[in-house]
């Protein structure tokens, strides 16, 4: 496989999809809800996913595609080449704010992340990485992250995890909030992974993410020295929903050891 060629191909699809999304701002967007009233999807999420799938099926017919909106393949294993795609990560932001959303894409080979992309469409900022080849914002190489104590760290965290919730002891999360320098919540896992990779955030934590939310960002984060696992400290399975944390190793360990208590 010519990874450089596949990288250029993936970038060209992402840029074209980003253009389609920007154009969509000039027409009315159709909004539906999925599993719950606040789990939103639009005709644009669907159209962009279908655009990727049409192209990839034509140009790389033996690749599999796991897409959030379900137009891709039924993917039960990560054997072979698998594209993990979220056409719009942060759909609620897309609808309400027209910013703070991204196209999120990871290309995995036999379960290993080889290419990763996060495209902040509105700011025309493309984060990408090739395994063992470094991470980039547009064409600028992102520096390796330095370690940082929790007392100086800014953590990406949704307020839902500080309120009583079904996944974790929220009193520990309150302690985390009180022990770090500050918290932020952007509403797009992909954007938050990009921010951790550039050092704008030092960690990002979520109780419930899907493979397409994080697959691309994990390749990027790994190239700048961050570790991404679930909140038990285990490797992400990337075949179903899971908890999630990304941070440089010392901060990752401190948060998991001292501030996370999962409910069984
Ligand atoms: P989405 O916009 O593609 O749905 C918001 O906090 C982040 O969590 C976004 O990346 C969002 O992705 C994701 N998210 C929201 N609801 C989710 C759910 N029910 N399961 C998994 N991920 C979800
Ligand atoms: Ca989405």
- Write out pLDDT tens, residues 53-64: 999 999 999 999
The atom number, within ligand 1, closest to the CA of 241 reads 21
pLDDT score recorded for residue 224? 98
What's the predicted TM-score (pTM) here?
0.97
Atom 3 of ligand 1, nearest CA residue = 89
- Write out pLDDT tens, residues 139-148: 999 999 999 9
Q: How far apart are the first and last CA of the chain?
A: 42
SS3 104: strand
Going by C-alpha positions, the residue among 193, 176, 196, 184 that lies closest to residue 257 is: 176
pLDDT score recorded for residue 251? 98
Q: Report how far ligand 1's centroid is from the alpha carbon of 90 (Å).
A: 7
pLDDT score recorded for residue 259? 98
The atom number, within ligand 1, closest to the CA of 38 reads 16
* Tokens of residue 212, six digits: 């397409």
pLDDT score recorded for residue 43? 97
208 lines ligand 1 (CB under 6 A): yes
pLDDT score recorded for residue 172? 97
Going by C-alpha positions, the residue among 223, 237, 232, 224 that lies closest to residue 252 is: 232
Residues of the chain with pLDDT below 70 are none
What does DSSP say about strands 64-67 and 81-89: parallel, antiparallel, or unpaired? parallel
The atom number, within ligand 1, closest to the CA of 190 reads 10
136 vs 126: CA distance, rounded Å = 8
pLDDT score recorded for residue 1? 85
258: Cβ contacts below 8 Å, ≥ 6 apart: none
Which mutation among 97, 208, 213 tests ligand 1's pocket best, with the greatest number of atoms within 8 A of CB?
Answer: 213
pLDDT score recorded for residue 264? 79
34 lines ligand 1 (CB under 6 A): no
């Amino acid at each position: 496989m010519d990874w450089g060629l596949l990288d250029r191909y993936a970038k060209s699809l992402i840029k074209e999809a980003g253009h389609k999304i920007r154009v969509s701002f000039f027409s009315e967007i159709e909004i539906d809800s999925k599993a719950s009233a606040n789990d939103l999807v639009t005709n644009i999420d669907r159209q962009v996913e279908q655009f990727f799938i049409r192209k990839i099926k034509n140009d790389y017919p033996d690749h599999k595609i796991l897409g959030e909106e379900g137009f891709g393949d039924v993917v039960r294993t990560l054997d072979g080449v698998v594209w993990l795609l979220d056409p719009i990560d942060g759909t609620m932001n897309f609808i309400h704010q027209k910013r703070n959303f991204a196209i999120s894409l990871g290309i995995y080979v036999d379960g290993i992340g080889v290419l990763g992309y996060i495209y902040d469409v509105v700011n025309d900022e493309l984060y990408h990485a090739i395994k063992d080849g470094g991470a980039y914002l547009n064409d600028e190489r992102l520096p390796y992250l330095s370690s940082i104590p929790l007392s100086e760290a800014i953590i990406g965290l949704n307020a839902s995890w500080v309120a009583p919730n079904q996944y974790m002891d929220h009193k520990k999360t309150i302690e985390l909030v009180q022990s770090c320098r500050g918290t932020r919540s952007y509403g797009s896992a992909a954007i938050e992974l990009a921010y951790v990779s550039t050092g704008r955030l030092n960690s990002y934590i979520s109780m419930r993410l899907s493979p397409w939310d994080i697959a691309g960002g994990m390749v990027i984060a790994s190239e700048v020295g961050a570790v991404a696992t679930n909140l038990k400290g285990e490797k992400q399975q990337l075949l179903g929903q899971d908890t999630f944390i990304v941070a440089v190793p010392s901060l990752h360990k401190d948060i998991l050891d001292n501030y996370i208590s999962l409910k069984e």
